Amino acid sequence: MKRAAVRSAGAILATGLALAGCGGGTSAPQQGGGTGTPDGSAVLKWAVPGMPTSFDPRKAAPLDPVFLDVVYESLVARSAAGEIKPGLATEWKLSDGNKVITFKLREGVKFHNGEEFGADAVKASLEAYKKSGALVTTLATLDKVDVVSPTEVKLTFTEPAGYMINVLAGEPGIVVAPGALDDPDLGTKPVGTGPFQLASFAQDKVTFKKFDGYRDAAKTGIGGLEMAVYSDEATRLRAVKSGQADGTSITPGQIKESQAAGMTVIQAPNTQFNAILVNTKIKELADPKVRQALLYAIDRESISKSLYAGACAPAVQPFQNGFWANVPELNDVKPYYDPEKAKQLLAEAGLPNGLDLQVEVGPNTQFQTLAQALQAQLQKVGIRVKIKVLEFQQMITARRTGNFSATVALLQAGRPDPTQFVKDFYTKGGAYNPGGYTLPGVPELLAKARVSDVNEKRAAPMREIITKVFEAGPPVIPVCGVTYVAAFRKGVTGMEPPVMGDYDFASIKIST
């Protein structure tokens, strides 16, 4: 068997963007720390924009890993930098043309409720995920799960599935305590094997305490976490300044303010991007020329400078420069800002007077600001945007049910695997493709991109997919590739930027 079957895609992304000067680089998490002795019983107060959608992996939303990673572990682990490494499985082997993956499991691991972790628990979770919920399509090719022994499990797929090593490092690989899987309260009462366990769940605050039975409890640097909701970015930063919180994610535009206040700032580009997601079941948006018009109407460099201090890399594709699935030929966005061409495309689509478009956006201030900037730019080519603000849960429901015309939102292209983004957004039946968007050849290329667990072998078909979709008018109109930025008060150290959305709070230390 082998251990790290996939090299660090996230580290490549971070290095590539830092060298290219596109993402603001990285700041060492250890800078600006306190001089005292770390307090292992200290509770980290982390300010968040909203409560978790659900702690049930079957119901969780794409941005919930910041909560899930606190209490759960997956079969395969992925570091904050994006490096694949052993998780609940210590080793794995691909066989039968990559249709079979056999995992060797850790011994002596316990769930928060005292249940023993083993092959039966893995089988129970995977089979539950296949029956209902958000992970059904992700695990659609998983044919069966066989318990070889208490410490060995064999997964058989209907097609070559090397890509599943990445997938099982995300939510589909989470193992829930078997006794909690059918609990209707799992969404607010998670039971995993992670470094922390839930202590309380209130309307605007969720707290966790250190799990003393964790397999690596000696390395957990804090005694617990408190995640409290603050309404917007400015409020969250003020909470850190005032001492109500120890840290929070911030916008690039808040970096100077944070540093001036003596905070530690960490940052790195990641696999998320800001975009307009359109619903192709809407007549006008089903026309490729209209989607192309949207693409050419956006001044991405202006938005990056004015809204993100240059730290959101202008992009017309989902994957940033430096990531293995990135298409180098599309990295120069200058040719794709052409308002006159956008007007011409609308005229060719039979819309010489433009069109009216409702765009839904969540309660987060930065996305409302982005929607307003896009509204002003699209107005210039005749696309008259009406912005509708939805509550957080309403936004999630709208995207999952397809009850929207277009949304401005943050999308995750790399987690759990880049091919899952393609599956969800670019193929018929995809979880976020209510209009049934499809292109000839894409399903076949997707299958090729999923055979191997080696990124270099997967790059060519992935790049061909992205190019095809771009040329045909994408249903997801990228604006810019995100840089993750967080600020901490003095004395809080140890956290690394989550390049692929994997959070490690156990490594944090708090000194006084």
Q: Are residues 357 and 459 in the same domain?
A: yes
CA dihedral 170, 176, 180, 181 (to 10 degrees): 60
Q: What token pair was written down for 266?
A: 């960490």
Per-residue pLDDT tens over the stretch 452-483: 999 999 999 999 999 999 999 999 999 999 99
Q: Are residues 297 and 320 in the same domain?
A: yes
Q: How many CA atoms lie within 13 A of 147 on its CB side?
A: 14
Which residues are CB-neighbours of 471 under 8 A, at least 6 positions away? none
Query: Which among 68, 149, 170, 166 is positioned nearest to 107, based on CA atoms?
Result: 149
Query: Which among 181, 166, 167 is positioned nearest to 129, based on CA atoms?
Result: 181
Residue 35 has pLDDT above 80, yes or no: no
CATH no. for residue 497?
Answer: 3.40.190.10
H/E element, 308: helix 300-308
Which residues are CB-neighbours of 223 under 8 A, at least 6 positions away? 39, 40, 41, 42, 43, 209, 210
Q: Are residues 285 and 259 in the same domain?
A: no
Cα 206 to Cα 208: distance, rounded to the nearest angstrom: 7
pLDDT above 70 as % of the chain: 93
The region of weakest confidence among 19-23, 90-94, 227-231, 324-328 is 19-23
Number of domains the chain contains: 3
Q: Are residues 380 and 280 in the same domain?
A: yes
Q: What token pair was written down for 410?
A: 């943050």
Residue 206 β-bridge partners: 201, 227
Q: How far is CA 206 from the centre of its chain?
A: 21
Report in angstroms the alpha-carbon separations of 109 from 118, 171, 192, 213.
8, 19, 10, 8
Per-residue pLDDT tens over the stretch 150-161: 999 999 999 999
Report in angstroms the alpha-carbon separations of 112 from 49, 65, 109, 220, 441.
27, 18, 10, 15, 46
Q: How many CA atoms lie within 13 A of 300 on its CB side?
A: 28
Q: Are residues 186 and 210 in the same domain?
A: no
Task: Tell me the whole-structure pTM to 2 decimals.
Answer: 0.89
Q: What token pair was written down for 241?
A: 């300044």
CB atoms within 10 A of CB 409: 25
CATH no. for residue 372?
Answer: 3.10.105.10
User: Are 477 and 437 spatial neighbours (Cβ–Cβ below 8 Å)?
Assistant: no
Q: Are residues 444 and 295 in the same domain?
A: yes
Q: Are residues 304 and 432 in the same domain?
A: yes
Which residue matches tokens 């192709």? 280
Output the CA angle 13-313-251, nearest 5 degrees: 100
Domain containing residue 147 = 50-193
CB atoms within 10 A of CB 114: 10
- Residue-averaged pLDDT of the chain: 92
Q: What pLDDT was estimated at residue 2?
A: 53
SS3 284: helix
Q: Are residues 315 and 429 in the same domain?
A: yes
Q: Among the residues of 168-232, which ranges form H helices?
A: none
Per-residue pLDDT tens over the stretch 268-279: 999 999 999 999
Q: Are residues 452 and 409 in the same domain?
A: yes
Q: What pLDDT was estimated at residue 307?
A: 93
**Residue 188 φ/ψ, nearest 5 degrees:** -120, 0
Stretch 73-89: mean pLDDT: 95
Q: Mapped to the 3 state alphabet, what secondary structure does 439-478 carry? A: CCCHHHHHHHHCCCCCHHHHHHHHHHHHHHHHHCCCCEEE
Q: Are residues 66 and 177 in the same domain?
A: yes
CATH no. for residue 149?
Answer: 3.90.76.10
